[in-house]
Amino acid sequence: MLQSTDAVLNDLFECYAEQGFLPDGLPLARISNPYYEIWEDIASQLPNLIQTNQIRQKIDNMPVCTTENLQTEPEWRRACVIMGYFAHAYIWGGETPKDRLPPSISKPFLEISAHLELPACATYAGLTLWNFIPSHPEADITDPDNLHVQTSFTGTKDEEWFMVISVAVEAKGIKLISLMRDAFKAVAADDVDLLTALLYRFADGLCDLTLTLKRMYEHNNPAVFFHQLRPFLAGSKNMGHAGLPRGVYYDVGDSDRVERPENWLRLNGGSNAQSSLIQALDIFLGIKHSATDGEQTGGPSFIQQMRDYMPGPHRRFLDELSARANVRPFILESPVQQPKDAYNAAVNELKAFRDTHIQMVTRYIVMASRQPNPTEQGKGRMNLATASSQTKEAGTKTKLAGTGGTDLIPFLKKTRDTVQDAKC
């Protein structure tokens, strides 16, 4: 017997309309099994170990732990958070980047990533979705004032605020996902009035996301972000200018020590483009982006590539959402104006969100790249920040790259303009 449309949509949106892309239950604060105590101990000291240039030695001396004692999904996620921070701290935590990860990171990280269907690098999921804790169990997690991070590169409030703003946006986005489900049902029922009302509510929700994003300025200093945090978010793809021309070799400790070409990986860094929520907003409104990363022109868009950096279940949800997205075609075919006006209101609010993001990138990256490092930490190092700042010579123009190597501002503007062009 065929399921009804409502039943199919309820199944598709099952947990996402209740928790969004945040985990079911709060992220694990610590893996309790004593076997992983060494991981947790180093993670708790990470900012100090980076600042005192001890992180590489500490990880080189760390035993190669197996993943056999990871029992629950929260434990696997916590292990992924730790390994992502360890990998990027090891790569970028010295005078020059390290293009080889030792077996103490590589072996468990590749296994953890395979389990969670993620690449073995710091991702949006590991940096934010699985790395927060509320100030108390009943705290409203849509308010970033109530949130803290568990693991950090710098130990600064600036870094914490950068991460928890994203968590709060994800939490506020939960109601938007439930509105998507209801809008699909309205289309199936040919209920124009209901769809119009839902789209106006969706526009209001997008406005709320923008207001939350704008709170970034409250506790995140651009100079601290650019010079102290951002270098650690960088990946190993398109990072030749920052010292990683070949990417990074993941040494798994083979007894014969023969180098495996397939263990040289070139991966993107942590990016908000890996947020399943942000991609879901575009999919729901029928907005399709074509901007590439400059390396594979004519191939998959950068945004499409970013799905590979999402947890498997989130990626599959977006694929299914794409297959079922029917709001824009329905509105274009509608003979009445009201749903078009409501749809355009939603598109306008999504464009406002993108505009806010571009303004933020301008302040935190473009303008910050012209300012000196305000601290001694990081001065003289080769990394994404110094590579972006080493163009003071007359007549030289800086090409600012994203953490994944994209030509940053042109990419963001093209993405914003694609949203604008979607209006009916």
Q: How many Cα neighbours within 13 Å face the side chain of 213?
A: 22
Q: Does the pLDDT at position 12 exceed 60?
A: yes
| pLDDT for position 375 | 75
The token pair at 158 is 């600036």
Longest dimension (CA), the chain: 72
The token pair at 356 is 């806010």
Q: Tokens 């900012």, residue?
A: 47
| Amino acid at site 132 | F
The number of angstroms, rounded, from the C-alpha of 181 to the middle of its chain's C-alpha atoms is 24
| pLDDT for position 405 | 60
Q: Does the pLDDT at position 377 exceed 70?
A: no
Average pLDDT, the chain: 91
Q: Does the pLDDT at position 355 exceed 90?
A: yes
Residues 6+ apart with CB under 8 A from 345: 199, 200, 203
The token pair at 96 is 């020059």
Q: Tokens 């990946």, residue?
A: 235
410 vs 323: which has the higher pLDDT: 323
* Sign of the alpha-carbon torsion through 198, 202, 204, 208: positive
Alpha helices in 270-401 (DSSP H): 276-285, 302-305, 312-324, 327-333, 338-361, 384-389
pLDDT band for position 404 (cuts 50, 70, 90): low
User: CATH for 5-420?
Assistant: 1.20.58.480
Q: What are 279-307's pLDDT values in tens digits?
A: 999 999 999 887 554 444 556 888 899 99
Q: Does the pLDDT at position 223 exceed 60?
A: yes
* 357 known ligand binder: yes
Helix (H) or strand (E) holding 101: strand 100-101
Q: Does the pLDDT at position 385 exceed 80?
A: no
Q: Strand 264-265 relative to strand 248-250: parallel, antiparallel, unpaired?
A: antiparallel
Q: Does the pLDDT at position 394 exceed 50?
A: no
Least confident of 39-43, 110-114, 299-303: 299-303
401 vs 338: which has the higher pLDDT: 338
Rounded to 5 degrees, φ, ψ at 104 are: -65, -20
CA dist 96 and 114 (Å) reads 29
Sheet holding 248-250, edge to edge: 100-101, 248-250, 264-265
CA dist 331 and 84 (Å) reads 43
CA dist 376 and 378 (Å) reads 6
CA dist 192 and 169 (Å) reads 29
Q: Does the pLDDT at position 21 exceed 80?
A: yes
265: helix, strand or coil: strand
Mean pLDDT, residues 390-405 taken together: 54
| pLDDT for position 389 | 57
| pLDDT for position 191 | 97
Mean pLDDT, residues 63-89 taken together: 98
Entry pTM: 0.94
What are the sequence ranges of the domains in the chain? 5-420
| pLDDT for position 83 | 98
The token pair at 267 is 């991966």
